Structure 1
Amino acid sequence: MVPITPLRTMALSMGASRRTMVSCTVCAWRRHLSTSRPYLADKLPTPAPGAAPVEAPKPDLPGSAIHAPRAYGKKITNFTPQPLPRPIGMAHPPHPEDNSGVDRRSLKERRDDFVDYDKHLVRRKELKEKMARPYFRDWRNMQFHEGKSFIAPPLPFKADMSLFFPNFVGDTLAKNANNPRDTTRTLLGKVSVVAVYSSQWADDQAKTFISPEANPELHELLAKTPGKTQVLQLNIEDNKFKAWIVKMFMGNLRKQIPEHNWGKYFLVPRGITNEISESIGYLNSKVGYVYLVDNLCRIRWAASGPSHPDERESLVKGMKLVLHEWNKNEKAALEAAQVKDAAKGKKEVS
């Protein structure tokens, strides 16, 4: 890099015209060295395309949908879980690269974010909340109804009002799978029951909804609708060491899970962000959560903690209703396509 001071001394010893030219060079060099935040922040980052383009983003709903104990904020001394008041989920359709840890930003976009003070404030707030979070708060909240955050709705949410299930990336039990894999491509085109947990206690709670012993009606429905329904399990391990241990004992997990379900068990080695936790109602990492997700990755039903008999019934009933709705839409789309083809054929003949 050429030092600026010698250039200034040389400019003073020259004539007026040459001094003007060198001065302009010095100014240009200074402009090259300086980088202003407003200039860099002009270009907004291009949003990633959604994996389900047929669905438009939903408007952000005001406030939290669930009033329940959390791992942060004010400590609660008394709590009774209530039914979900409205749909939960993300406002935008999921993308297979979301939450994968891969940074697709260009160097220009990274530099823009680095000098954006507003984004620094947001990141600072996130770090402060993470540092101020009590370590044992989730365990203390287990005293309220075994950690149950909310009660499942009796009927699934309407399709046009439902929000989206986020994408997760993790390793499956399938030996020939191209790990890591994303959940979005696995969920698209099927009605899925998704169990999310991060501990053995939470796993046992989720099994009260999805195991053949606890919910035989669910597995009867799965057997009657092969290729259209499935059960996914997401084991969230935000601790790298614990994730490594679980990965070392994948062989034992394969003995516990039927081989045809190996590709539907995901070990996710990344924690869930606060935004996702609040959006999908994952409010206690020590509790198991179950979601009914339709063929377009929309959350149509959700439950938490240990199951109640009426919740197991509403899960099966909701799955039947979502399947009926999907079949009805497919039939209507097929009839519309046939009418369109017939009209096109008549037009060509005439």
Structure 2
Amino acid sequence: MASITPMRAMALSMGLSRRAFSCTVCSCRRHLSTSRPYLAGKPPAPAPAPGAAPLETAKPDLPGSAIHAPRAYGRKVKDFTPQPLPRPIGMAHPPHPEDNSGVDRRSLKQRRDDFVDYDKHLVRRKELKEKMARPYFRDWRNMQFHEGKSFIAPPLPFKADMSLFFPNFVGDTLEKNANSPRDTTRALLGKLSVVAVYSSQWADNQAKTFISPEANPALHELLAKSPGKTQIVQLNIEDNKFKAWIVRLFMGNLRKQIPEHHWGKYFLVPRGITDEISESIGYLNSKVGYVYLVDNLCRIRWAASGPARPDERDSLVKGMKLVLHEWNKVEKAALEAAKVEEAAGEKKEKS
């Protein structure tokens, strides 16, 4: 029997490794050729029978999409002039304290179904591609147009029955005894709130042109007259973890700048605003400050962006007075109705 030389052994081993590698590639190709058509070619869901409820509620168009303003995505704008808000902005559904908290409350079965759903993978892939293609300095470049102002505040508040909702955010406050993050929904319910949203010192300075005592003394006079029903809430959006850590590090300095009775109304939100929320509430530039007038039912009744104009400051105070008067009127009518109902009940008991 002929002996196997070292060169022959090397050649045999290389041949075996090539065959093993080719078999592995073939098996992967067979797997992809059978699984991908199966996932991509899933039969469509059957149409509901006549008169039956649809399988999924149709999503309405985003109200904020009617705002024609420069964005961080899409085509580059060469010229822009802000226009008044064309219609109410906000979310279509009332907020919930657990919304936008980052906690995944899906069951194991729902997670498994979503993991193997090819259509959802395609949607997620599209979202990631759009984020990767988004110019990093687009928001800063858009600041050249009227200091980043996206729209002009309306002269009057939106009607209550036509207004949409302010979304929920979760973050830490300046209160020392607060052990866990708080949600904004519980803080806004039952109060007429002026909400300032910003994510940088530049945006904070823009928001202060609306809400600071020096820039808008009439607003603070109105707040002093109705302390139990009105408030100012500030949301510092820090989607960058390092910047959020820096802000937490200097919480002590913030407490010195803000009065103690306002500590529970200053939120540091570590989660960024999604594109859906941004389009809905008109938060179109993360480097710009935005101010919202939110009523006791978390509905956006008025909104502004960028630095304040004199007429916008006046419209904020005027809108706050109108919404407050409307709220007092509703409370008075409800109290009178309760008295009538109580009197009718007493009369029925006597008879």
TM range, smaller chain? 0.7 to 0.9
SS at match of 1:275: helix
Letter in 2 for 1:218: L
Instruction: Identify if the C-alpha distance between structure 1 residues 228 and 153 changes in structure 2 by more than 3 Å, giving closer, same or farther.
Output: same
TM-score by length of 2: 0.83
Where does residue 88 of structure 2 map in the other structure?
Answer: 87
Where does residue 115 of structure 2 map in the other structure?
Answer: 114
Instruction: Identify if the C-alpha distance between structure 1 residues 61 and 252 changes in structure 2 by more than 3 Å, giving closer, same or farther.
Output: closer
- Superposed, 1:159-170 pairs within 5 Å as 159-170=160-171
Deviates more, 1:176-185 or 1:323-332: 176-185
- 1:123 to partner: Cα distance: 1.2
SS at match of 1:105: coil
Instruction: Identify if the C-alpha distance between structure 1 residues 328 and 178 changes in structure 2 by more than 3 Å, giving closer, same or farther.
Output: farther
1:65–1:88 CA contact under 8 A, matched in 2: no
Percent identity of paired positions between Structure 1 and Structure 2: 89
- Superposed, 1:1-350 pairs within 5 Å as 60=61, 64-350=65-351
Instruction: Identify if the C-alpha distance between structure 1 residues 76 and 210 changes in structure 2 by more than 3 Å, giving closer, same or farther.
Output: same
2:63–2:90 CA contact under 8 A, matched in 1: no
* CA RMSD after TM alignment: 2.0
SS at match of 2:228: coil
Distance between the aligned counterparts of 2:305 and 2:238, measured in 1? 18
Q: Please list every run of at least 4 consecutive aligned residues from structure 1 whose deviation after the TM superposition is greater than 3 angstroms.
A: 36-39, 57-63
Where does residue 31 of structure 1 map in the other structure?
Answer: none
Distance between the aligned counterparts of 1:192 and 1:167, measured in 2? 14
Distance between the aligned counterparts of 1:92 and 1:123, measured in 2? 23
SS at match of 1:244: helix
- 1:307 to partner: Cα distance: 0.2
Q: How many residues align?
A: 301
- 1:59 to partner: Cα distance: 5.4
- 1:61 to partner: Cα distance: 5.5
Deviates more, 1:143-152 or 1:334-343: 334-343
Distance between the aligned counterparts of 1:95 and 1:121, measured in 2? 28
Distance between the aligned counterparts of 2:276 and 2:315, measured in 1? 27
The C-alpha deviation readout for 1:288-340, integer Å capped at 9, x for no partner, is 00000000000000000000000000000000111111111111111111111
Query: Between Structure 1 and Structure 2, whose CA radius of gyration is higher?
Result: 2
1:58–1:92 CA contact under 8 A, matched in 2: no
SS at match of 2:171: strand
Structure 2 unaligned spans of 5+:
1-37, 47-57
Instruction: Identify if the C-alpha distance between structure 1 residues 59 and 129 changes in structure 2 by more than 3 Å, giving closer, same or farther.
Output: closer
Letter in 1 for 2:163: S
Letter in 2 for 1:251: G
Letter in 2 for 1:222: L
- 1:179 to partner: Cα distance: 2.7
- 1:62 to partner: Cα distance: 6.6
1:58–1:91 CA contact under 8 A, matched in 2: no
- 1:58 to partner: Cα distance: 10
2:63–2:279 CA contact under 8 A, matched in 1: no
2:155–2:312 CA contact under 8 A, matched in 1: yes
1:289–1:303 CA contact under 8 A, matched in 2: yes
Distance between the aligned counterparts of 2:317 and 2:299, measured in 1? 17
The C-alpha deviation readout for 1:255-290, integer Å capped at 9, x for no partner, is 110111011000000110000000000000000000
Structure 1 unaligned spans of 5+:
1-35, 43-56
Letter in 1 for 2:274: T
SS at match of 2:65: coil
2:154–2:315 CA contact under 8 A, matched in 1: yes
- 1:167 to partner: Cα distance: 0.4
1:172–1:179 CA contact under 8 A, matched in 2: no
